[in-house]
Structure 1
């Protein structure tokens, strides 16, 4: 399990690095192109939306052709997108090439989830998913620091050149270390009718939709923070790119530490009960932060501490909801993984777009959007999961 977790985690790391590594450059990109902060945030929105929609392609492809081919194709597309972003001459061009990156990076999110489902279920799958999350958690801690170093030496365009190199390394890793986990006899043909039928079945499944959207709005709070924090920390609190990178990394520590306890806590408490407890904690800390902001007490320390605690709660929610959403759909793990990933990424892109018009460079709009994500996740938990949680509280 250790080797599988490391390989899948390193593959899944490419997508988050494409987000986190260039965050310190967002204010400089706005300055270089002579455009607004909201326009530059569209480079993230475009990435997230393309990333989400493309999962509907890679999931069925993974069920039909196996797990390795979609990964290789996604890495090729991601590499081309990174090259285009390196040479972008306008913010509109950068948005387009970032979306192209997202089209490739999606494979590296959806296919590893399906591989986990091929190999394990239940708490064992949660442990492997948490191990993957541990590797991914390196991204928000190291990628912004690496990006600020690259930017200081060579400018923001070199960040995308580095991402090209990272994609090539991931390609080599896939070819040499990742075996195929879906044998030919278990593969299913691709047909529009089957996809529509399978998607409709999943969309009508209350447990699948509830777990997917609960995790999705938890992830959406990350996306809002990612899109807003570079400007808030630099503009309102006066941090340097390196200072921002350190502050950003602190917020990730709570998530990755808690995620490593998800499998153990799932065995002790029941996995669905764990989701409920985690969402209660996340919403409580997010609303406390909103209260502090409305009272004019949202200092840098207060934001860092309360987001640390909120993200720690999400650390047990997100890997657990990913596993539970797929548990009853092993025969269509690729489609279920891709549809779940699409819904989650669209939720993130939607929240960024909704928060954009209110963004003014201060912390309050960012905190308000995060609190809104928490309230939606809490309402979904109360409305869609209580019966299932209590019926299977030992599971």
Structure 2
């Protein structure tokens, strides 16, 4: 059983990681991109915002389509679009063209974000789903560790354009992986009742489900703080604190390691204590740590060690939040898992893009605006957790495993 879990997690995690790899790998180059294309900090950060907007909106399409035609065809289409857009990014000569191509690249990457979660729901629910989701995130989360380091090496050898050639090759490898290692999990019988009309009705059902939306936005605001860090940390850690691109990559990877490691405990802890109590505890701890970090900067602190250390702890708690609330949100909507996964991904990405855009208005290269945005995300997630889950102290989804 473990080998089957690991194989599926490896395949789905690698597919999910292709889009984030296109973010994390070029983070060390953001200051260089600004200098190369003559763009200000805000304009360079817009390449991230555009990517997150499109990767969010694109999931609204891929989810229902995967319910209608199966999981594999839209994966092929998305990866092909991602490949072509990546090549265009590598050839871009001005910041406006790069922003537009990053938007198209995000549309392609959206397939790899929405569909693997639906595959998890096709196969499992409850603690078993949390276990597979955590293993998937173990593979997926290797990207924030390896991608910046790989990006630093590629940038040193080829400049920032080389990053986009590398991710284009990764997308081609992803298409080969879909062809050879991923079985179709959406049967013909399950597709019969799926159509554009059923997708619209499905979105209507989901948008009226307060519990689903509450869980989605818990994850969205928890992740929004990370997106703010994603956009601001290259300028804060490299320009303000004076780290080299390689040192920045190591610092960034440290937080990802905390996220990865803690995520592996969600399955065992969920079985022992229940997914709802686990979510409550982890979100509360994350919010308290981020509130402490914000207080430190508000009173005038400015030590890199404090920033890295406290965010390491917050990332560890976040690693238990994201897979847990994702499983809880999808558990009651197995019949429209692709649509539900798509809406969840869209709302979370749009929330993250909005957070990046808002904090970007106040960005000055110093830590306080970034930390304030990160803390606001964590504290909003905390408030939503106690609103959404206050009447479900011991709820644990029923487990189901499809052979």
Matched residue, 1:27: 31
Query: After superposition, where does 1:1-395 map in structure 2 within 5 Å?
Result: 1-188=5-192, 191-387=195-391, 389-390=392-393, 392=395
Deviation sequence 1:127-156 (CA, Å, 0-9, x none): 101001001111111100000110011100
- Gap regions ≥5 residues in structure 1: none
Q: Distance in 2 between matches of 1:240 and 1:377?
A: 33
Aligned counterparts of 2:273 and 2:321: Cα–Cα separation in 1: 13
1:298 Cα deviation from its structure 2 partner = 3.4
Residue 390 of structure 1: SS of its match in structure 2? coil
Aligned mates of 1:147, 1:231 — CA distance in 2: 16
How far apart, in 1, do the equivalents of 2:59 and 2:40 lie?
30
Tell me the secondary structure at the aligned position of residue 393 of structure 2: helix
Q: Counterparts of 1:220 and 1:381 in 2: how far apart (Å)?
A: 15
Asked whether the equivalents of residues 63 and 188 of structure 1 are also in contact (C-alpha less than 8 Å), the reply is: no
Query: Counterparts of 2:294 and 2:7 in 1: how far apart (Å)?
Result: 41
Secondary structure at 2:277's aligned position in 1? Answer: helix
How far the C-alpha of 1:195 sits from its partner, in A, is 2.6
**TM-score, scaled relative to structure 1:** 0.98
Q: How far has the Cα of 1:13 moved from its partner?
A: 1.2
Confirm or deny: 8 A CA contact 1:289 1:298 kept in the other structure: no
Unaligned runs of 5+ in 2: 399-403
Q: Is the 8 A contact 2:331 2:397 kept in 1?
A: no
Question: CA offset at residue 392 of structure 1?
Answer: 2.0
> What's the C-alpha RMSD, in Å, of the aligned pairs?
1.2
Could you say if the C-alpha distance between residues 72 and 273 of structure 1 is closer, same or farther in structure 2, counting changes exceeding 3 Å? same
CA displacement 1:177-234 (0-9 Å, x = unmatched):
1010111011145544333321121111121111100011111111111100000001
2: CA distance, partners of 1:327 / 1:393: 10
Query: TM-score, structure 2 length as denominator?
Result: 0.96
Could you tell me how far apart the structure 1 residues matched to 2:365 and 2:235 are?
A: 6
Local SS of the residue matching 2:381? helix
